[in-house]
Amino acid sequence: MNRKNRRVAGIAAGVAVTMLGLAYASVPLYTLFCQVTGFGGTTQRAEGTSAPATDKMISVRFDANVAHELGWGFHAAQATMDVRIGEPVLAHFVATNNTTADSTGTAVFNVTPPEAGVYFNKIECFCFTEQLLKPGQRVEMPVQFFVDPALLQDPDTRSIREITLSYTFYPATNKTANDQAALKTN
């Protein structure tokens, strides 16, 4: 093999290795991008509110889903709540293990409209950890959140009057919640 062919082969191998590396890095990088920007309805995580509550109200609708193979019942304790923008609020979801064995689930979440994701902040949520339920066990799972008042200043979101917070529980396996979310959107 002459020198020119070896150089082309080396460049091609380098490009292939780079593309393989980027393919493996794409899921965590996309997840990080969504968490930072709220893209695709990804909510934010917060320690608490950073601005005082306003007198403006917004309706938050709750949606609960569960993958059939998990064998759980899962629903929101309330269908909707009218909340003051900027005020921390506590909502509850209820899960029941309808199987005869211990079962561990993990929740994937998002908000719609997607533009609201960057302004929807969770302080505490059952979705931050896997949930283990014993056979027949019924648990109430709280989520504490607030809608950032900056939503009212953004031209793309200031006309939003309702946000839907949606959860889907999947069996916890060696796949991460992000892998499950990717399967859900495909």
What is the distance in angstroms between the CA of the first residue and the CA of the last residue of the chain? 45
What is the pLDDT, as a whole number, of residue 44? 54
Is this structure's pTM higher than 0.75? no
Q: Which residue has the higher pLDDT, 37 or 122?
A: 122
Q: List Cα–Cα distances, 84 to 51, 54, 100, 113, in angstroms.
A: 12, 6, 42, 18
Least confident of 2-16, 40-54, 90-104, 107-121: 40-54
The domains of the chain are located at 1-37, 41-185
Domain range 41-185, CATH class: mainly beta
Residues 167 and 127 sit within 8 Å (Cβ to Cβ): yes
Average pLDDT of span 84-98:
95
Asked if residue 19 has pLDDT above 80, the reply is no
Of the pLDDT bands very low, low, confident and very high (cuts 50, 70, 90), residue 13 is: confident
pLDDT of 41: 42
